[in-house]
Amino acid sequence: MPFLFSPLRILLAVLTWLTILVLWSTTRSISGAGGSDIVVILASNDGGSIGKLPDFKEKVFRNRASYAQRHGYDFLWANISAFPVPDAPTPHWSKIPILKAAFAAYPSATWLWWLDLDALIMTPSLPLHELLSPTVLPSLLLPAGTPIRGIIGPTAHNVSFPTRLISGWEDARTLDAAALQMLVTQDEMFGINTGSFALRRGPWADWVLEMWTDGIFVTEDWVFKEQDALLHLMLQHEVVRRGVGVVRQRALNAYPTDREERETGVDGVGWLERKTEQEARGMMWRRGDLVVHLAGCGTIEGSCDELWAEKWAEREVEREEDVRGAEERRRTDQWGIEVGPERLGRRRGRWMG
């Protein structure tokens, strides 16, 4: 009997339980598995819409909130006007304080998924946490040595990241998924696109969110504002590059080709030639992809309404039980449209404890 409770046996038992606990927590944080580990976020500006689409906000709520309901995620639709950034010339910068507020309001969340207003979840049956899993994520990352092209102001950057630095894990055995703190998609022309990205809670995210709205960046005359600021941080700071996984565009942020481009071509390039080139680079949405992003749709005259309606009709229709569940959460004030900091703070106290 004394042998059973010897110091050595007790020490081995403690070490065994600690090992199990560490492995469990690591696996959970890497996979981002379900539940309130993930918050789906979008934002609009005081009733923001796209074109003259009827019931636009209701359709977007149905699309995003029912997806969150289906997979057990949380959902936040923030009011951009309620999250100003000092000296910011455009509301694009408000996504950074919204992300900070979301981490505070949802303390159990591991990942935040930002998805722009001009995007649609096309395959709601595909869960985000499946894409974040260590068995799937390696296949989505860009191959080692893939150049990240960036155009910031008058200067063009073409940086090739070496193996295991940002996009170069040969296979799952060498993937250190715990080192990835952010997933963003490449844009072949502009380097990256922040219309759809995932951010993991932790000291790295805290530091990047703080640096992202540096006063010098906010007042820079960059075309793509906060997107160019993030690209600048990636290009200039290895600590940022080491935390960012650049994934193939169709994984989180596929682009469509609108009817006008199909008929007239762009910049003298015929649609078929351009479409073939984009598809070869993995940019164009195909049925089964999670998201289609109508990037800049709200600023395009004429074709935006038609393009949105076209993609809305092509999406995989949401399950009615998920739509009803999302509506019930809106009626009970858990989920809503264009939430500000005060209401978000009350939500933390009431539902998050």
Percentage of the chain exceeding pLDDT 90: 41
- 3-class DSSP assignment, residue 269: strand
Q: What is the mean pLDDT of residues 98-108?
A: 94
Q: Is the model's pLDDT at 315 over the cut of 90?
A: yes
The total number of residues written for the chain in this structure: 353
- Extended strands (E) in 201-341: 244-247, 291-293
- Extended strands (E) in the chain: 38-44, 74-79, 111-115, 119-121, 147-152, 155-160, 182-187, 191-200, 244-247, 291-293
Look at residue 51 in the predicted model and tell me its pLDDT: 59
Angle between helices 341-351 and 95-105 (to 10 degrees): 20
Give per-residue pLDDT as tens, 202-246: 999 999 999 999 999 999 888 889 998 998 898 788 888 888 888
The pLDDT mean for the chain works out to 77
CB atoms within 10 A of CB 296: 11
> Rounded to 10 degrees, what is the CA torsion of 271, 277, 280, 282?
-80
φ, ψ at 182 (rounded to 5°): -150, 140
- Cα separation, 83 vs 338, in Å, equals 11
Q: Which residue has better confidence, 346 or 109?
A: 109
Return the ∠ at Cα 306 (arms to 263 and 53), rounded to 5°. Answer: 160
In one-letter notation, the amino acid at residue 42 is: L
Look at residue 1 in the predicted model and tell me its pLDDT: 47
- Beta strands at 74-79 and 38-44: parallel, antiparallel or unpaired: parallel
Q: How far from the centroid of its chain's Cα atoms is residue 289's Cα?
A: 15
345, 106 Cβ separation under 8 angstroms: no
Look at residue 27 in the predicted model and tell me its pLDDT: 31
- 3-class DSSP assignment, residue 299: helix
Look at residue 332 in the predicted model and tell me its pLDDT: 87
pLDDT class of 343 with cuts at 50, 70, 90: confident
Q: Is the model's pLDDT at 29 over the cut of 50?
A: no
Least confident of 79-88, 124-133, 298-307: 298-307
Q: What is the mean pLDDT of residues 183-195?
A: 84
How many Cα atoms within 13 Å fall on the side-chain side of residue 118?
19
Positive or negative, the Cα torsion across 12, 17, 18, 22?
positive
Give per-residue pLDDT as tens, 143-159: 766 666 655 544 444 44
- Cα separation, 294 vs 285, in Å, equals 10
Q: What is the mean pLDDT of residues 184-193?
A: 82
Give per-residue pLDDT as tens, 234-268: 878 888 888 888 888 899 999 986 544 444 444 44
Look at residue 248 in the predicted model and tell me its pLDDT: 87
Percentage of the chain exceeding pLDDT 70: 66
Look at residue 192 in the predicted model and tell me its pLDDT: 86
Sequence-distant (6+) residues with CB within 8 A of 210 are none
Look at residue 269 in the predicted model and tell me its pLDDT: 43
In one-letter notation, the amino acid at residue 169 is: W
Q: Which residue has better confidence, 284 or 127?
A: 127
347, 39 Cβ separation under 8 angstroms: no
Q: What is the mean pLDDT of residues 328-351?
A: 77
80: which 2 tokens?
């951009």
Look at residue 148 in the predicted model and tell me its pLDDT: 66
Look at residue 5 in the predicted model and tell me its pLDDT: 53
